[in-house]
Structure 1
Amino acid sequence: MCAAPPDASSDAPGPNDSVLTVVDAGGEPWARILGLLERRWCELPVGSVLELHSANPQVRSSVRGWCRLTGSTLLTEEETGDLSAYRIKLPPPPAPGTPTPSTLQKPESP
């Protein structure tokens, strides 16, 4: 996984929710975007805001699901023509060696 990044701020929304980095994914499929997001997540300080640009309309539900799964906060979602922009506040990354559920696996029924 990734090493722990330097601490920047709490997860509470605040005045410093400016975008620290932009990931321009073009029309890439979610599987490729997921790798980009996870790499950036490991590189940025805790509480950073990342902006994702995507021209793939199928990404919307995946972004929402990824935010729920990782504890990220979807701050804004904007559409301009064929392009969508998502502002995401990142939580601390998982500790190295922490298993993460595959997006290909179905949750077990109780």
Structure 2
Amino acid sequence: MCAASPAASSDATAPDDSVRAVVDAGGEPWSRILVLLERRRCELPLGSVLELHSANPQVRSSVREWCRLTGSTLLAEEETGDVSAYRIKLPPPPVHGTPTPFPVPKPESP
């Protein structure tokens, strides 16, 4: 799990859907792309948009599943020749006052 970093004050005027980072994965397999996406997800502020470029056609379903699991939104998907580009919006910051899940302690064994 990663800690979210707050947006810089200069980012306050940037449009919500402007791309903050691009991950150019070439033809890498999903296992390698996943590591790259997770690293970027941890580095970027919540609500940021990142773009993934991949020449691996098998990535499409994995990107959709990763978005679902992380609470991210797949904004757009475009194909140009052999390369697909995916615009992904990371989950927004929680609304103030929204409860956050916390771990439930396990009962101790006798």
Q: Percent identity?
A: 84
What corresponds to 2:48 in structure 1? Answer: 48
For residues 77-92 of structure 1, the aligned pairs below 5 Å read: 77-91=77-91
Listed as ranges, the gaps of 5+ residues in structure 1 are 9-14, 99-110
Whose Rg is larger? 2
Listed as ranges, the gaps of 5+ residues in structure 2 are 9-14, 94-99, 104-110
SS of residue matched to 2:16: coil
Partners of 1:43 and 1:84 lie apart in 2 by: 23
Partners of 2:73 and 2:5 lie apart in 1 by: 18
Partners of 2:83 and 2:71 lie apart in 1 by: 25
Over aligned residues, Cα RMSD in angstroms? Answer: 2.3
Per-residue CA deviations over 1:34-78 (Å, capped at 9, x if unaligned) read 000000000001100000000000000000011111110000000
| Bigger RCO of structures 1 and 2 (CA < 8 A, at least 6 apart) | 1
What corresponds to 1:4 in structure 2? Answer: 4
Task: Give the TM-score, by structure 2 length.
Answer: 0.74
SS of residue matched to 1:23: strand
* Aligned-partner residue type, residue 20 of structure 1: R
What corresponds to 2:107 in structure 1? Answer: none
